[in-house]
Amino acid sequence: MVKIRLARRGRKKLAMFDVVVADARAPRDGRFIEKIGTYNPLTNPATIDLKDDRAFHWVMNGAQPSDTVKAMLSYRGILMKKHLQIGVIKGALTQEQADAKLEEWLKGKDAKIEAKRDKLSQAKQADLKARREAETKIKEARAEAIRKKAEVASAVASAPAEAAPAEGEAPAAEEQA
């Protein structure tokens, strides 16, 4: 039996996966028939690079995807393409109708993906702006504290200079008495 599954690579806690077609009896990271793509779950949204035509070829020839790979194939529209192609083979619709349906579905899917990317980008920008504003407030508060401290220091420095002669006169007056 042939399976489409993930083969792990990358270092500890920074996993990346190859999407491979392999014999079901082969070890997870062992021998495989063909590498058809890569998957990086650490990005948001996850990066899926597949050779769609090869994945479709293997799915149509009976390769069984693992659960994760099945979700990825569905996400990329390969399982939808298989479903439509089976309809064409059975005569339920023509190839042109199937291609049109697939194209429409892919446009909708691309729009959703792009919307998510935009939303994440805007959230990142808003977070950056909020952090900058908070930093500015802290900076202004520190500058105000430094200014007040300098005023107090200058007031203290000028006050003892005037009071020093008066204190010096008092002991002199005591000595005379």
Check if the beta carbon of residue 5 is closer than 8 Å to that of residue 30. no
pLDDT at residue 154, as a whole number: 85
The C-alpha atoms of residue 32 and residue 26 are separated, in whole angstroms, by 7
The C-alpha atoms of residue 36 and residue 56 are separated, in whole angstroms, by 10
pTM given for the model = 0.67
On whether residue 121 sits in a domain, the answer given is: no
On whether residue 144 sits in a domain, the answer given is: no
On whether residue 168 sits in a domain, the answer given is: no
> How many separate domains does the chain show?
1
Strand-by-strand arrangement of the 16-23 sheet: 47-50, 34-40, 16-23, 2-9, 64-65
On whether residue 113 sits in a domain, the answer given is: no
**Would you say residue 69 has pLDDT above 70?**
yes
On whether residue 74 sits in a domain, the answer given is: yes
On whether residue 130 sits in a domain, the answer given is: no
Amino acid at residue number 9: R
Name the DSSP class of 46: P
Looking at the chain, the whole-number percentage of residues with pLDDT higher than 70 is 90
Domain that holds residue 29: 2-93
Which secondary structure element, helix H or strand E, spans residue 41, and what is its range? none
On whether residue 106 sits in a domain, the answer given is: no
Q: Give the Cβ contact number of residue 20 at 10 Å.
A: 22
| Per-residue pLDDT tens digits for 108-154 | 998 998 898 899 999 999 999 999 999 999 999 999 999 888 888 88
Give the tokens for residue 22. Answer: 């392999």
* pLDDT band of 43, cuts 50, 70, 90: confident
CATH number for 45: 3.30.1320.10
Mean predicted confidence (pLDDT) in 48-55: 92
**Would you say residue 17 has pLDDT above 90?**
yes
Tokens 């079901």 belong to residue: 24
On whether residue 18 sits in a domain, the answer given is: yes
